[in-house]
């Protein structure tokens, strides 16, 4: 399990047995995001987190809007996916704020963002009341330390994972499935797992 020594961080290890949260990172992508969107809609998966990269939202805002409109949760995943530990505080803040503005503008304002979260996810996840929409952030590569998290946790709930699909390094659906279900069994059949939208093959 990944260490969660940060106060506003969630990694799925405290979910109840049978509760699984799916997250997709690094989109939107013009080809893959619609496939992911259609699949989770067809399967009636009630909520998924999409941690989006600001420069991709600028290019494909329609994808972000379509997901949020249907109630899927949009999270901030930086502007250009750098390793935050290597950035200055100024650059780090710029990566977060720029993306926050792009996502919020794309979704039509803070109140329009993440309506599903506002409706019922907030009853399940403990979260600080001062967080702003989009309420969720994921550090690129999960790379973080006390300095970077001090800035992130001012405004966001930080979402890590305890199940790793490793699909960025393995494009075989069968072995990805085996790995995810093996880890879910090890973790007691609950968890929060991470996929990379760019290379996910459904």
3-state secondary structure of 48: strand
Contacts of Zn ion in 49-88 (CB under 5 A): none
Contacts of Zn ion in 142-201 (CB under 5 A): none
Q: For Zn ion, which is the closer residue by CB, 26 or 135?
A: 26
Taking CB under 5 A as the binding criterion, the range among 18-26, 62-70, 117-125, 173-181 that sits at the site for Zn ion is 18-26
Q: For Zn ion, which is the closer residue by CB, 87 or 110?
A: 87
Residue showing the smallest CB distance to Zn ion in the complex: 25
CB of 191 within 8 A of CB of 12?
yes
DSSP 8-state code for residue 81: -
CB of 136 within 8 A of CB of 75?
yes
Say how many residues touch Zn ion, by CB under 5 A. 3
Give the nearest distance from C-beta 195 to Zn ion in angstroms: 10
The verdict on whether omega for the bond into residue 50 sits within 30 degrees of 0, i.e. cis, is no
- Quickly tell me which residue has 């039509």 as its tokens: 108
Which of 25, 52, 135, 167 is close enough to bind Zn ion by CB under 5 A?
A: 25
- Helix (H) or strand (E) holding 34, with range, is helix 32-42
- The tokens for 129 are 């009341």
- Quickly tell me which residue has 């989770």 as its tokens: 40
Give the nearest distance from C-beta 160 to Zn ion in angstroms: 12
Give the nearest distance from C-beta 159 to Zn ion in angstroms: 12
Tell whether residue 26 is a contact of Zn ion (CB under 5 A): yes
Residues lying near Zn ion in the complex (CB under 5 A): 25-26, 140
């Amino acid at each position: 399990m990944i260490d969660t020594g940060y106060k506003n961080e969630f990694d799925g290890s405290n979910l109840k047995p049978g509760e699984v949260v799916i997250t997709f990172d690094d989109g939107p992508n013009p080809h893959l995001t619609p496939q992911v969107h259609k699949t989770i809609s067809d399967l009636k998966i009630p909520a998924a987190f999409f941690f989006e990269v600001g420069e991709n939202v600028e290019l494909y805002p329609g994808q972000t809007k379509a997901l949020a409109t249907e109630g899927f949760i949009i999270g901030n995943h930086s502007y250009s996916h750098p390793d935050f530990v290597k950035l200055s505080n100024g650059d780090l803040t710029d990566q977060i704020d720029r993306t926050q503005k792009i996502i919020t503008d794309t979704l039509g304002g803070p109140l329009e963002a993440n309506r599903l979260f506002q409706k019922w996810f907030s009853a399940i996840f403990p979260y600080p009341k001062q967080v702003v929409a989009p309420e969720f952030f994921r550090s690129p590569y999960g790379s973080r330390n006390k300095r970077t998290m001090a800035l992130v946790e001012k405004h966001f709930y930080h979402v890590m994972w305890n199940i790793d699909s490793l699909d960025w390094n393995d494009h075989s659906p069968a072995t990805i499935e085996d790995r995810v279900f093996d880890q879910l069994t090890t973790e007691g059949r609950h968890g929060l797992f991470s996929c990379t939208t760019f290379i996910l093959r459904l």
